[in-house]
Every structure is written in C-alpha cells, then in structure tokens.
Amino acid sequence: MRIDNIKGVNLGNWLVLEKWMSPQLFAGTTAEDEYYLPTQLSPEVYEARIRTHRAEYITERDFIKIRSMGLNTVRIPVPYFLFGDRPPFIGCVDELDRAFEWAERYGMKILIDLHTAPDSQNGFDNGGISGVCKFFQEPEEIQFVYTVLERLAVRYGQREGLWGIEILNEPISQVMWDHMHTSSRYAAVDAKKAEGSRGYETAELREFYLTAYDHIQPHLAADKVVVIHDGFDIKAWKDFMREEKYSNVVLDTHQYLMVAESMGCEQTLSGYEAFIAEHFARDIEEMQQYFPVICGEWCLFNSLACGRDTKGGQTELNGDMEQITREVTDEEKLDIYRALDKAQKAAWSKGSGYFYWSYKLLVDTTDGDAWKGWDAWDLGRCHDFGWFETESRDRED
C-alpha cells in the first residue's frame, strides 16, 4: 500500500473504553474512565463485561463492512496494558491478533495506536484516567511504555497486515492543557493523585519519540511506518527527525470542527468550509513537505448540525448542555454533512490520508435531546445515511 493512499477509520471504544461512546458499559458505577471501572465492579463482573464487549463490539463482519466502504486501513487504539501485565486490567492482545487475521483476509492494513499511558499523557477520559497527566514525569513508566512498543513491533513488525505503529496518541502540551481547561473539563476523582499534572515540555516529548523510534524501528519490515502525533501543534516538527536514520516516519494530526469552534470558527457551513481551507488544508500541505501527514482523527460532528453550541463537544457526561436552539431537519443535516465530508476529504488529500473517528458509537444506549447530532461520530451511520461518500476502490494498489 502506498504511504499516500490511506483511507481509514478508527476502531474506537473497542480495546480502549470511552464512556460517552458506550455508556452502558459503565452502568452501576460512577466511573468516568477505564481506570476506575474495575474499582467499582467485582473482578468477576468486570471481566465478564469486558470480554463480552470485546467479543461483540468488533467482529469479522465489521471488517467486511469497512472494506465495502472503500476503506483500506483501520487505526486500532490499544491500551498500555494490552499484554495483560498491569492488573486489574485485562489484556487484549488476543483480540489484536484476530484483527490482523481479519485485515489480512480482506486486503486491509492496521495502524496500531498506543492510545493510553500509565497516569495518562493528556488527562482526557480517552487517555485512561480523567484529570491526571503525569506520564512524562515518571521515568519508570516511560521505560515500561518503551517495552510495550517494542513488544508490539516484535509481534507484528513483519506481518503483512501492519501499516505502522503510532508511538502515543494525543500527548498534550502545556498550552493545550490550559486552552482546553483540562483539569476542570475532565475532573480528577482523586485530587492527590492528580497533583502535579501538567502538559509536556517540548524537549520531553521529542526525547520520548526518538527513544521510542529506536525501540520500534529495528523490528519492522522495510515498508512499515512509525507514526508520531503532533501534540496539537502541527507546525512544531519541521526540524525534527531530519537525520537520515529516521525513515518511514509519518506525522499524525487530529483536526476536529468542534476544536475549530473553540478557536473562533463561525458555526455556519460557510464558516466551517473557510476554516477547513484556511487552516486544516493549508497546514497539512505545508507540513507534507517535511513528513507524510495523516489526519488520524476527524469526523462530521459540528454544532450547526446539532442545533446548539456544543461548547467544543461537551456531552451530558462532562458538561452542562445548552438547550437545543433550533431543530435541524434531515434534509439540512444531509446538506451540511455532505458538504463537510467533501471539504474535509479535500483537506486530507493535501497530505497522505485519513482515519475517521470512529467506526461505531452506541448512542442508542442513551436517551434524551442531549445526544442529538452525536450520530455523526459513527461512520457506519454516516455511510448508511448518505452523509459520508463511499470511497472509490479503483485507485488502490
């Protein structure tokens, strides 16, 4: 597969849980993230719930469905405990093995994305523990993550189905930590555990990436890639990994319209389209001169189609919801989403491809107006409703 032909989707909430994507998994608890879920369930109930979820949420049939959409790659978020060596959490390497069997059976590739780190790299609920961000201050945990990445490279580095390994998802800088008001948006359960939480320093993240590359690259076949996330600062990497030894390195950037809104993007179709062209497309085209760039996460979700300002994607789980100010018809949604699908794909074409977030969202497990518009996070629904245009398969290798 060419490095510039990535058309993919994330298998979010399969091996790394996110409460907003499947609230019933957290039923009977007050846990907001994966770290605290096993502390509020008996070991037997926790294991049964997790194993049932993993067996049912993604199956071989889903790989067939994804392939039928014209997509050729899946990005699979995995937790730092996937090898089963961090109790009470349950490993999931067997599920990842099955994903490789399915991908190879249907001519697809996999990007393994290390999505969480001990004590979190970003403080988000999807980082494993909300409101805590201390990974880069803990040398022993950094060393542990190097071993996880190396074990992944050894296990899958020669597999036909591997496209690459992403070192770490969404490490957060101090600037972004402050901009997102992370400590209040994702309130910590244990204030003492959260003490000292902060975003990374540039030198910390760069050193981590360089060392991680040295653990991964020797075990990869020549056509595999190592992916680094931009840490929410896409232009900060122009002088990084310029040495000859760093080959097949891809830069991942995550671009969401809800973040654009928080940066002042007008919540109108023309406002979104202008922002996509002036920021998403322009930045990716500029950075494509230095690395192959993928947009590893994006979606059609936006406040206009929800009929209210979502305040940067706040849900009823992590913020006070503004009341719906206007009802959006199905015809209006179709027009909005189709236009934004076209505009965003044009932006990603300035780079080397994309991964939609996410393949599946169980919004039907929730009730009430608070979740109107959230089905745009679900690529299967977007495809079935005609919001997401099926990709052509005639341009593949």
Tokens 């023309």 correspond to 270
* In a domain? residue 273: yes
* In a domain? residue 390: no
Above pLDDT 70, what percent of the chain?
95
pLDDT of residue 324: 74
Q: Which tens digits make up the pLDDT trace of 87-98? A: 999 999 999 999
Is residue 148 within 8 A of residue 82, CB to CB? The reply is yes
Is residue 19 within 8 A of residue 32, CB to CB? The reply is yes
Is residue 21 within 8 A of residue 77, CB to CB? The reply is no
Q: How many domains does the chain have?
A: 1
* In a domain? residue 397: no
Kind of pairing between the strands at 162-166 and 73-78: unpaired
Is residue 81 within 8 A of residue 129, CB to CB? The reply is no
Find the mean pLDDT for residues 28-42: 96
Closest by Cα among 7, 222, 15, 13 to 109: 7
pLDDT band at 317 (very low <50, low <70, confident <90, very high): low
Structural domain containing residue 228:
6-384
Q: Is the pLDDT of residue 321 over 80?
A: no
* In a domain? residue 136: yes
pLDDT of residue 318: 56
Cα(8)–Cα(69) distance, rounded to whole angstroms?
10
* In a domain? residue 395: no
Percent helix, strand, coil in the chain, to 5, is 45, 10, 45
* In a domain? residue 1: no
* In a domain? residue 186: yes
The first and second tokens of residue 308, run together, are: 């209210």
Q: Is the pLDDT of residue 48 over 60?
A: yes
* In a domain? residue 368: yes
Has this prediction a pTM greater than 0.85? yes
Closest by Cα among 40, 48, 37, 107 to 79: 37
Tokens 């800088």 correspond to 173
E-strand spans in the chain?
Answer: 6-10, 73-78, 109-114, 162-166, 225-229, 249-254, 293-297, 353-356
Contacts of 179 (CB under 8 A, 6+ apart): 262
Between 185 and 370, residue with greater pLDDT: 185
pLDDT of residue 396: 46
Q: Is the pLDDT of residue 7 over 70?
A: yes
Average pLDDT over the chain, rounded to whole? Answer: 94
Is residue 110 within 8 A of residue 73, CB to CB? The reply is yes
pLDDT of residue 315: 66
Buried/exposed code over 174-191 (b: 16+ C-beta within 10 A; e: otherwise): eebbebbebbebbebbee
Contacts of 367 (CB under 8 A, 6+ apart): none
Distances (CA, A) of 173 to 186, 195, 239, 316: 16, 17, 18, 26
- Give me the CATH number covering residue 146: 3.20.20.80
pLDDT of residue 391: 87
Q: Which tens digits make up the pLDDT trace of 163-177? A: 999 999 999 999 989
Closest by Cα among 69, 94, 98, 71 to 82: 94
